[in-house]
A and B are shown apart, each in its own frame.
Chain A
């Protein structure tokens, strides 16, 4: 069976510090991978998606970047965090078929102080 791991679950970081959130998927190959941010009252915002190794599409201009060094690994990074980067970050994957059933990780609550 497929599983998705996302860590850490919570993170408190000072402004200006770097960020690295990691997400890995097991039990499938060549998944589509996604990073979403969920902010209060703003719903679920797609940040990045990837259809293959090294292929990253960015949906919104921001202080964050994403990388996919391996087929089932997706990393969200920042060189210098801003207060506005605080939020709940969700990693997800799907099989890239016509019906996009996405499977989500448990999320990372990031607080920038």
Chain B
């Protein structure tokens, strides 16, 4: 079955770059996603990448995809305290469901 894994915790200083990593097992994944969850709330889509791309940039966010190694990363440039949240990687291989990773808690200290 599908499996998506992430490290549980990342701590950075304000102004540094953050890199959150994700690995997945489903070789038929068509889209990969990054979602953000702020405390006590649901998830919101940050960005996504199609599986035939290897990079996507959106303002401070850069997504890198290594399809051979089934590795996805999210880089946040100039990390701010407001970026503190849980970040979830997700993949879909059909129109019918998303499979989420375990989430990475990002803590940004001043």
Contacts and interface: CB of A to CB of B under 8 A. Distances in A.
B30 interface: yes
Q: Looking at B30, B41, B98, B101, which has the most chain A CB atoms within 10 Å of its CB?
A: B98
A43 B101 CA distance: 6
Contacts of A26: none
Interface size class of B (residues with CB under 8 A): 20 to 34
Interface stretch (B13-21, B68-76, B88-96): B88-96
Contacts of B88: 43-44
B100 interface: yes
A42 B73 CA distance: 20
A104 B6 CA distance: 21
A90 interface: yes
A92 interface: yes
B8 interface: yes
A51 B31 CA distance: 19
Interface in B35-85: 35, 40-45, 48
B42 A100 contact: no
Contacts of B33: 100-101
Interface string A77-107: 0000000000000101010111111111111
Interface string A16-37: 0000000000000000101010
Contacts of A74: none
B97 A106 contact: no
Nearest to B91: A100
A107 B31 contact: no
Given A41-B8, A90-B42, A102-B45, A32 B96 contact: yes
Contacts of A107: 40-42
Interface of A: 32, 34, 36, 41-44, 46, 49, 51, 57, 90, 92, 94, 96-107
Interface of B: 6, 8, 30-31, 33, 35, 40-45, 48, 88, 92, 95-103
